[in-house]
Chains A and B, each alone.
Chain A
Amino acid sequence: MSTENRGEWGSRTGFILAAIGSAVGLGNIWRFPYTVASNGGGAFLIPYLVALLTAGIPILILEFSLGHKIRSSAPGVFGKVSRKYEAIGWFQAFIAFCITTYYVVIIGWAFSYAGYAMTGAWGADPKGFLFGEYLQLTDSPMNLGGLNMKVVVPLLIVWAVNYGVLRLGVKEGLEKANKIFMPLLVVSLLIIVVRGVTLPGAMAGLDYFFKPDFSKLTDPQVWLAAYGQIFFSLSVCFAIMYAYASYLPKNSDIVNNAFMTGLGNCSFSLISGIGVFSVLGYMAHTQGVSVAEVSSAGVGLAFVVFPQAISALPGMNGPIGVIFFASLIFAGFSSSMSIIEAVVSSISDKFGLTRKQALNRFTLVSGVLSLMIATRGGLYVLDIVDYATNQYGIVIAGLAELVIFGWFFKTDSIREYANELSDFAVGKWWLFCIRVTSLILGLMFILKIVNEVSNPYEGYSWLALGVYGLGVMLAIAVASVFFASKKGSDEFEKNIYGNPLVGNELKNDDVKKSNLEEASL
């Protein structure tokens, strides 16, 4: 695809909504509240804000700058720095590919549950309903048990929506969809919050969520959890933000956009935390137990605990249930579209395919693979692949990115480029943050491996972890090297390989030109 035909955001609002929409996903609703509550409550917000300012926003500035300057997706960005780094860009894109295959399935579950919420179909046993009647879960990850049509049908709807939106392009598809989904997400979350805080017991839930335990601040694990939460929730280091920034017009802000994306994402997390814990407080109140006993995260929170809470509401159970699952659907779509876009743009940029050609190929392959998650044993596969891609894949991809740009590149030229374009400038602290974050990620990675050896994830067999975890990671690595070694389109070869980026060439060309003119006077 030629540089001119890649597409462009129609407005700054469109870009900001899409970038925040990408960052705000299921994790903001089902992971953040539990992470806060189990890591010192309100005190956790201190390391969380520190991590946002020292890791999240600096990485966003890095990716926005490079995507905007090079006007290419991740493989092009890394390939432009050096051809030998292109595989890292593909590794990031394949991580996104992998995440797509299960993320769309979870949005499909939310679709089903929005329907079930109207009648309270889960009855008095939401856990039995989820694993038994709905997912029909098998006994082991090595027994997939055939396709589950209750999951396949909503999955097809999710694919149809994603495909339909992305086929329309950046301005007419992505931008317009985010302008619809994001306001709907805000409204649905606010309805949950208002309903939640007016329930009896809500204050106990919020107290559990916000009450600071400052002694936790001396625990390094809490700080690592804060950096992990920021790192995994901002859609950084897996190709998305490069692609999104590459669609920005030439005269676009970088630094302020990064601040708005980071702060906007965390503001959403705070609201969803209030909604989730006020409802959990009510549930604990009705059951006569502590909030800690009903507190959970992930699939368990959304599809077991929340249905239980919805059934226990004093009124409006159906509508509130539908609104809760609708919020998951809106958050899920705004993220899934960005994840798919990261891969589609990578394929079309490198091989010169049109958006539609790349999207057709991607949807066919990823759609077929996502059927594996729609089997009766699919939840196990989802769980292991999600764990491997998040805890290892993104960390490896992020580590490589930050080491290259933090330590082996004239990184200050990126800062100058961003500052010349932006509403306000960042100081030299930015480079320091990039370097420190690379060290923190390295530490997280080492600790994770040490822990894994002694405690295999969720007690799964090494065979299951090997096939779905390590196997998937190795497949991604091999595919990355293979795609990086393939010949690109003539334009890619010329623009990316033919004109490699050396640190100080990153400065804004127009600004450089005017500086030269001034110097000649």
Chain B
Amino acid sequence: MSTGAIVTAIISGIILWGGFGYCLCIALKSDK
């Protein structure tokens, strides 16, 4: 795999899964 592909895979994973995880954490702390 090229460096560009690896970097893209990591960044997109962090944004999407990280973003989802961040929102999930907020939801878990909320009383909604």
**A interface residues with partner B (beta carbon < 8 Å):** 12, 16, 41-43, 45, 49, 203, 206-207, 209-212, 251-253, 256-257, 259-260, 263-264, 266-267, 270, 274, 421-424
Q: What are 23 A-B interface contacts by the 8 Å CB criterion?
A: A16-B27, A41-B5, A45-B12, A203-B1, A207-B1, A211-B4, A212-B8, A251-B32, A252-B32, A253-B30, A256-B30, A256-B32, A257-B27, A259-B19, A259-B23, A260-B27, A263-B19, A263-B20, A264-B20, A267-B17, A270-B12, A270-B17, A423-B27
Please, what's the 1-or-0 string for B9-20, where 1 marks a CB less than 8 Å from any CB in chain A? 100110111011
Measured between alpha carbons, how far is A264 from B27 in the docked complex, in Å? Answer: 14
Q: How far is the CB of B14 from chain A (nearest CB, A)?
A: 11
Q: List 8 tightest A-B contacts by C-beta distance, closest first.
A: A42-B8, A210-B5, A253-B32, A263-B20, A211-B5, A267-B16, A263-B19, A210-B8
Write out the residue numbers on chain A whose beta carbons fall within 8 Å of the beta carbon of B32.
12, 251-253, 256, 421-423
Measured between alpha carbons, how far is A259 from B20 in the docked complex, in Å? Answer: 8
Name the residue on A nearest B29 (C-beta): A423
Measured between alpha carbons, how far is A212 from B1 in the docked complex, in Å? Answer: 12
For chain B, what secondary structure do more than half of its interface residues adopt (helix, strand, loop), or is it mixed? helix
Measured between alpha carbons, how far is A131 from B3 in the docked complex, in Å? Answer: 41
Write out the residue numbers on chain A whose beta carbons fall within 8 Å of the beta carbon of B12.
42, 45, 49, 210, 270
Measured between alpha carbons, how far is A212 from B5 in the docked complex, in Å? Answer: 6
Measured between alpha carbons, how far is A364 from B13 in the docked complex, in Å? Answer: 43
For chain A, what secondary structure do more than half of its interface residues adopt (helix, strand, loop), or is it mixed? helix
User: 8 extra interchain contacts, Cβ-Cβ under 8 A, other than A260-B27, A267-B17?
Assistant: A45-B8, A49-B16, A207-B2, A210-B5, A253-B32, A263-B19, A267-B16, A270-B16
Contact A260 B24 (CB under 8 A): yes
Write out the residue numbers on chain A whose beta carbons fall within 8 Å of the beta carbon of B27.
12, 16, 253, 256-257, 260, 423
Most buried by A among B2, B20, B26: B20
Q: How far is the CB of A419 from chain B (nearest CB, A)?
A: 13
Write out the residue numbers on chain A whose beta carbons fall within 8 Å of the beta carbon of B23.
256, 259-260, 263
Name the residue on B nearest A259 (C-beta): B23
Measured between alpha carbons, how far is A424 from B19 in the docked complex, in Å? Answer: 14
Write out the residue numbers on chain B whose beta carbons fall within 8 Å of the beta carbon of A424.
26
Q: How far is the CB of A52 from chain B (nearest CB, A)?
A: 9
Write out the residue numbers on chain A whose beta carbons fall within 8 Å of the beta carbon of B1.
203, 206-207, 210
Measured between alpha carbons, how far is A210 from B5 in the docked complex, in Å? Answer: 5
